[in-house]
Amino acid sequence: MSDVDARKRTKVLVVTPDSLGKRMAGPAIRAWEMAKAIHTVAEVRLVSTVAADLESDDFPVSFTDEKSLRELVAWSDVLVFQGHTLSSYPWIKRHAKIIVADIYDPMHLEQLEQTVGMPEERRLKAILETAEVLNDQIERADFMMCASEKQRDFWLGQLAATFRINPLTYGDDASLRRLLSVVPFGLQDAAPLQRSHGIKGTVPGIAPTDKVILWGGGIYNWFDPITLIEAVEKLSATHPDVRLFFLGAGHPNRHVPKMEMVTRARDLAGERGLTDRFVFFHDDWVPYEERADFLLDADLGASTHFDHLETAFSFRTRILDYLWATLPIVTTGGDTFAALVQEHGLGRVVPPTDADALADALEALLYDESAHAEAQANIREFAETMRWRKVLEPLLDFVVDPHPAPDSPLTLETPRNRIVNDLRTRIDGIESSTSWRMTKPIRSAKDAIQRLRRR
């Protein structure tokens, strides 16, 4: 490519509020893989607002404070961000840049579970603030990415409530995919390579011949490790070689609070006498490039959760690692992946909180060789549809030919903004009982509670 051609390449800044390093959680992994893919079609820089010690031969990776972030945003043509970035640095919204919001994580639904047990006022405040964070992104973004078609339907409702579905965006594309597209988590192209054993014959109490069930990520409040531990206890009565290994009892991002469910899981395993006999907790977060050592020591992957709203619109990224390592999957029904597991024969789906059904499913895939082999064959075929190079196509197409949304707030005199500003002016003096986006923000959760009670 000539120097002139190189200068024409879009300059893309990818920002994550997660830690970029050897040990990475889902948001950081996603940002890293996006940057790697974007590098093939554009000039890219990847930054973390928390910590970064990753290196790439292809593009710069760094930690950024607010001063350097201002310089990087000024350098870029397109900004791709996750999480609370826009609310942490609100000046970005007013910058004349094309903005891509990665809303694959419905954070406000997670908060419904994460804040259980908080005082009512604190809990309501936390969820209202998270909803506002997401609405800010939705109002400003020129392009948005979510994780599944089911999740896209959910986000379309939120777009409609914030007036992003309007004659301008609809006229530009009646499907709205130029504004909101599905970009799920993906699989690496290279097959997993085991350099050493992470579990079998390495962890005291787990022999090379044992059958290992892997819990391949963090233990968060919206998951159900309790039923899984109970199922393993039942299974151990007839299969003393069964082992459950929790891979992510810790977390690499210091800003992620310790979850109550971690304590509950540890306590239950301890009370039943299962710890370090049938149930094992790995406290250190496994380095991203070393996770194959653990995945390839497992015989199947498990993901269990409760029947609630977060489940319905979630996208369990740990299951992508199970697919990458060709591990048959046992999962609770109700989420996007449960439907895929059932439709494509990738494993077994069980009802929520049913320890007996879960034990039966685990037994079938661990000890029935034909069932195990059939699931693996189906996984090999299905996994090809989930490679990063394929799932990131909508994002790559956008950064090659970036464009502001037809109702972009960059032009303050667009019809949308004139209408919205007029409505806001008229509503400013009206008492409101909700937190919808065309009213003044609720000053505190206490105000919201009082308004709802009066109504």
Q: Domain check: are 163 and 247 in the same one?
A: no
SS (H, E, C) 316-364: CCHHHHHHHCCCCEEEECCCHHHHHHHHHCCEEEECCCCHHHHHHHHHH
Locate tokens 């064959």: which residue? 377
Report the distance separating Cα 210 and Cα 255, nearest Å: 36
pLDDT in tens, 149-171: 989 999 999 999 989 999 999 99
**Mean pLDDT confidence for 355-361:** 97
Q: Domain check: are 44 and 161 in the same one?
A: yes
Q: Domain check: are 77 and 31 in the same one?
A: yes
Longest Cα–Cα distance in the chain: 71
Q: Domain check: are 151 and 54 in the same one?
A: yes
CATH number of the domain encompassing residue 78: 3.40.50
Greatest mean pLDDT among 146-155, 200-209, 318-327, 424-433: 200-209
Q: Domain check: are 109 and 136 in the same one?
A: yes
Q: Domain check: are 217 and 297 in the same one?
A: yes
Question: Which of 66-75, 359-368, 444-453 is the least confident region?
Answer: 444-453
Does 198 reside within a domain? no
Q: Domain check: are 346 and 223 in the same one?
A: yes
Q: Domain check: are 35 and 152 in the same one?
A: yes
pLDDT in tens, 257-270: 677 889 999 999 99
Helix axes 107-114, 120-140, angle to 10 degrees: 170
CATH number of the domain encompassing residue 246: 3.40.50.2000
pLDDT in tens, 234-250: 999 999 999 999 997 65
Q: Domain check: are 180 and 271 in the same one?
A: no
* β-sheet bridge partners, residue 348: 330
Domain total of the chain: 2
* Domain span at 291: 211-386
Does 20 reside within a domain? yes
Give the angle subtended at the CA of 4 by the CAs of 2 and 10, to the nearest 5°.
105
Confidence of residue 418 (pLDDT cuts 50, 70, 90): low
Q: Domain check: are 115 and 138 in the same one?
A: yes
Kindly report the average pLDDT of the chain as a whole number: 86
Res 96 pLDDT > 80: yes
Q: Domain check: are 89 and 114 in the same one?
A: yes
Q: Rounded to two decimals, what is the model's pTM?
A: 0.77
Does 434 reside within a domain? no
Res 177 pLDDT > 80: yes
